C-alpha cells in the first residue's frame, strides 16, 4: 500500500511537471501567434504607405500641370484627404509597435520564468488575464460570438512566483467555460480579479451548461468529466497545480451561471511577503 502511494505521488508529480512544460510551449505558441498578427498588420500598413507615396507623387505632377485654379483646388483636396488617411494609419502603426513591444515583454517574462522558476519575477494577475484573453482570440467563436466582460481590480498586489502555473490554471478554467458556451443561446463570459482578505481571487463565470449534479462532488477527481470524449484531467490537474502555491479552486452554479474561483493566498506569492 505504501509503495503504491509513493508511485501515485511520483506519477502525479511527473504529470504536473510535464503539464508545466506543455504550458510553457502553449504560452510561446500564443505569443508567436500574436506577434505574427502584429507583423502582418505592420506589413500591410507599410505596403499602403508605399502606395501613398506613389499616389502622392502622381497628384503633385497633376497639380503642376493643372490648367485651372479649380482643377488645382480639387487635386489639392484629394492630396489633403490622402494625408489625413495616412496620418490615421501612422497612428495605427504606432499602436502596432506598442503591441509588439508588449508581446516581447511577455515573451521575456516567460523565458525568465523558465530559466529561474524559483526566482522572483514580479507580475500581476491582470497581466495573466489579458494575455490569456489575447491568446483565446485565435478562436473564432470566442473572438466573434462570445460576449466578454473583464472586471479587473486596480488594487491587486504584485505576485512574485508561479506565473506559468497561474497561466495554466486560468487556461483550463477558460477552456472549460468556452466549451460549455458552445451550446448557449447567449454565450457570455466574465473574468474578475479581486483582492480580498489577504487573498487574490480570480473568478471565471459563464452562461454555459453548468456542472452536472451527478459529478459535482467529484469534479476535481481524475477521469471525471461531464463532456463526452474528454479524459477528465483538466480540472484535476489545475487543482493540483493550484495547491502547489497554496491555492484552491471552488465552483458554484446559480441561476444559469457557473462560477469558478481560484484563490491565491497572498502570503505565498506576493512580493515582499
Return the half-sphere exposure (C-beta side, CA atoms, 13 A cut-off) of residue 141: 14
pLDDT in tens, 157-173: 988 888 888 988 998 99
Give the relative orientation of helices 163-181 and 234-244 as an angle to the nearest 10 degrees: 150
- Between CA 170 and CA 126 the distance in angstroms is 11
Quick one: what percent of the chain has pLDDT higher than 90? 22
CB 120 within 8 A of CB 270: no
Write down all domains in the chain, each with its CATH number in brackets: 2-115 (1.10.287), 125-269 (3.30.565.10)
- Between CA 82 and CA 76 the distance in angstroms is 10
Hey, how many other C-beta atoms are within 10 angstroms of the C-beta on 70? 9
**Parallel, antiparallel, or unpaired for β 199-206 and 188-196?**
antiparallel
Number of H helices, E strands in the chain: 7, 5
Query: With bands split at pLDDT 50, 70 and 90, how would you rate the model's confidence at 192?
Result: very high
Q: Which residues, 6 or more positions from 178, have their beta carbon under 8 angstroms from its beta carbon?
A: 136, 139, 141, 142, 146, 189, 206
- Roughly how many angstroms between the first and final C-alpha of the chain, as a whole number? 39
CB 238 within 8 A of CB 252: no
Q: Is the pLDDT of residue 196 over 80?
A: yes
What pLDDT score was predicted for residue 24? 62
What pLDDT score was predicted for residue 6? 47
Instruction: With H, G, I as helix, E, B as strand and everything else as coil, classify residue 269.
Output: helix
Phi/psi of residue 246, nearest 5 degrees: 75, 15
pLDDT in tens, 37-87: 777 777 777 777 777 777 777 877 888 887 788 888 888 888 788 777 777
CB 106 within 8 A of CB 163: no
Q: Is the pLDDT of residue 273 over 60?
A: no
- Between CA 164 and CA 123 the distance in angstroms is 11
Amino acid at each position: 500500500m505504501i509503495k503504491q502511494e509513493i508511485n501515485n505521488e511520483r506519477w502525479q508529480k511527473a504529470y504536473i511537471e510535464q503539464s508545466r512544460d506543455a504550458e510553457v510551449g502553449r504560452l510561446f505558441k500564443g505569443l508567436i501567434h500574436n506577434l505574427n498578427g502584429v507583423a502582418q498588420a505592420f506589413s500591410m500598413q507599410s505596403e499602403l504607405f508605399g502606395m501613398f507615396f506613389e499616389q502622392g507623387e502622381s497628384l503633385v505632377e497633376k497639380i503642376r500641370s493643372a490648367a485651372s485654379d479649380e482643377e488645382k483646388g480639387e487635386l489639392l483636396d484629394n492630396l489633403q484627404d490622402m494625408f489625413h488617411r495616412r496620418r490615421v494609419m501612422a497612428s495605427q502603426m504606432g499602436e502596432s509597435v506598442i503591441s509588439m513591444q508588449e508581446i516581447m515583454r511577455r515573451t521575456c517574462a516567460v523565458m525568465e520564468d523558465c530559466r529561474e522558476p524559483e526566482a522572483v519575477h514580479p507580475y500581476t494577475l491582470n497581466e495573466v488575464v489579458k494575455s490569456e484573453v489575447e491568446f483565446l482570440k485565435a478562436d473564432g467563436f470566442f473572438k466573434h460570438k462570445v460576449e466578454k466582460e473583464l472586471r479587473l481590480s486596480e488594487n491587486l498586489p504584485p505576485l512574485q512566483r508561479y506565473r506559468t502555473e497561474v497561466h495554466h490554471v486560468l487556461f483550463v478554467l477558460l477552456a472549460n467555460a468556452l466549451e460549455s458556451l458552445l451550446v448557449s443561446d447567449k454565450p457570455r463570459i466574465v473574468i474578475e480579479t479581486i483582492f480580498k482578505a489577504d487573498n487574490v481571487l480570480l473568478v471565471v463565470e459563464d452562461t454555459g451548461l453548468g456542472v452536472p449534479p451527478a459529478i459535482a462532488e467529484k469534479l476535481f477527481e481524475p477521469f471525471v468529466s461531464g463532456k463526452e470524449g474528454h479524459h477528465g484531467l483538466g480540472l484535476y490537474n489545475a487543482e493540483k497545480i493550484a495547491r502547489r502555491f497554496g491555492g484552491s479552486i471552488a465552483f458554484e452554479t446559480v441561476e444559469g451561471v457557473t462560477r469558478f474561483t481560484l484563490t491565491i493566498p497572498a502570503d505565498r506569492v506576493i512580493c515582499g511577503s
